[in-house]
Amino acid sequence: MYVRRLELHDFRSYAEAAVDFDPGSSVLIGPNGHGKTNLVEAIGYVATLGSHRVATEAPLVRYGASRAIIRCAIVHDGRELLVELEITPGKANRARIGRAPATRARDVLGALRLVLFAPEDLALVRGDPAERRKYLDDLLVQRQPRFAGVRADYERVLKQRNALLRTSYLARKVASRSRRPAEPVDAPDLSTLDVWDLHLAAYGADLVAARLELCAALGTHLAKAYDAVSAGRGEARLAYEAKSWATPDEAGRLAELDRSEIEQRLRAALAEARPSEVERGMTLVGPHRDDLMLTLGELPAKGYASHGESWSFALALRLASYELLRSEGIEPVLVLDDVFAELDTGRRERLAELVAGASQVLVTCAVPQDVPDALRGARYTVGDGVVSRVA
């Protein structure tokens, strides 16, 4: 799979841009702040319907414009597919695949499989659990686009449930402030909470079962990738953590639970947490509070790993996604956004060697000398919003 052409219209700093790519490696060179990352961000958006830099759509649209358009020609098994996305902040994105009329943006998922390496990846190791959940869920969707729906359903139920808990929490606060001491507080209406519990547990179980299966599949790829990037300096492992709903003795054998057992556990945990959830006015149980425990040797990576080790771990997580997708017959496009500047020479060379065999590698960098020889391919310069091929 490779991206043959990218066209942008009012996307980030670009009023208008078009770039043609070849399979193999392409290096985009330009000073900082001239729009290299904007190009690969657009390609990433086509693959995941999200940006690796920001959580909202507004910054993606050029200042002063009302909408941005990304057009991307993707070649897969010798056949070309044209994907067009129209991003309007605050509204649903519009999408077109091939010549077919507009469809839901979600249907675009799966047209382009992509693994993106970026300086932000360091947060996978050092950042909040949310970063690691996003890593798992994004990969889940890349593997099986159906999970975009499961994820959206879960988030919708969670939002509704939180809204219910929140209103009752606020109602109770107001009531307790205005009442005279002798008066009892009216019980706020939580009669629908049971219903939301059932639905939260059902969608949550779908999500957790898929994440557990993914973790099991990633394990060996991760260990191998870390071994290769760090030149044999330690053993990297990952384990799914579900402190909000699994009992401590279940923690070690989460992978053995099947979907219906997970649903049962979630329901039981929700019932148990009910008083404190009502007390605090929010949902405290569920996969939205789970985490991915990363360990290096015997120690957790977060807090214990050095800067270099953390970097190697982050790279290994991305490499593991790449190897996993490849082992399942999907040949993803790789994007290395400004990562070489962050690495020492040894890691640079080893990373380049590991990814050089990919069907397409897109590299951005400010200093061309940072890019190892293994990835010397087509070269483009990016300056002031103009992209031109130089070699």
Partner 1 sequence: MYEGAIQDLIDELGRLPGIGPKSAQRLAFHVLQADTADVTRLATALTRVKELVRFCSVCFNVAESERCRICRDPRRTDETICVVEEPKDVVAIEKTGEFRGRYHVLGGAINPLEGVGPDSLRIRELMARLSAGEVKELILATDPNTEGEATATYIALLVKPMGLAVTRLASGLPVGGDLEYADEVTLGRAFEGRRAV
Tell me how far, at minimum, the Cβ of 140 lies from partner 1, in Å.
Answer: 13
Say whether residue 149 binds partner 1 (CB under 8 A).
Answer: yes
Say whether residue 88 binds partner 1 (CB under 8 A).
Answer: no
Could you please report the per-residue DSSP string of 248-266?
HHHHTTGGG--HHHHHHHH
Say whether residue 53 binds partner 1 (CB under 8 A).
Answer: no
Q: Which stretch binds partner 1 (CB under 8 A): 157-165, 224-232, 313-321, 375-383?
A: 157-165
Task: Tell me the two tokens of residue 61.
Answer: 């649209």
- Residue selected from 18, 130, 159, 216 as contacting partner 1 according to rule CB under 8 A: 159
CA 150 → CA 32, 96, 156, 358, distances in Å? 38, 22, 10, 30
**Restricting to residues 115-144, which ones interact with partner 1 according to CB under 8 A?**
none
Instruction: Give strand pairing partners of 337.
Output: 364
Q: Name the strand (E) or helix (H) holding 304.
A: helix 301-304
Q: Which stretch binds partner 1 (CB under 8 A): 193-201, 244-252, 281-289, 302-310?
A: 193-201
Say whether residue 107 binds partner 1 (CB under 8 A).
Answer: yes
Say whether residue 260 binds partner 1 (CB under 8 A).
Answer: no
Torsion sign (Cα): 10, 14, 16, 22: negative
Kindly report the backbone phi and psi dihedral angles of residue 193, in degrees, each rounded to the nearest multiple of 5, phi listed first. Answer: -60, -40
Tell me how far, at minimum, the Cβ of 14 lies from partner 1, in Å.
Answer: 28
Say whether residue 96 binds partner 1 (CB under 8 A).
Answer: no
* Residue with Cβ nearer partner 1 (13 or 167): 167
Q: Which amino acid is at 265?
A: R
Q: How far apart are CA 342 and CA 222, in angstroms?
A: 21
Tell which phi-psi region holds residue 161, choosing left (phi > 0), alpha (psi between -120 and 50) or beta.
Answer: alpha
Q: Which stretch binds partner 1 (CB under 8 A): 23-31, 104-112, 132-140, 289-297?
A: 104-112
Binding region for partner 1 (CB under 8 A): 104, 106-107, 145-146, 149, 153, 156-157, 159-161, 163-164, 167, 189, 191-192, 194-196, 198-199
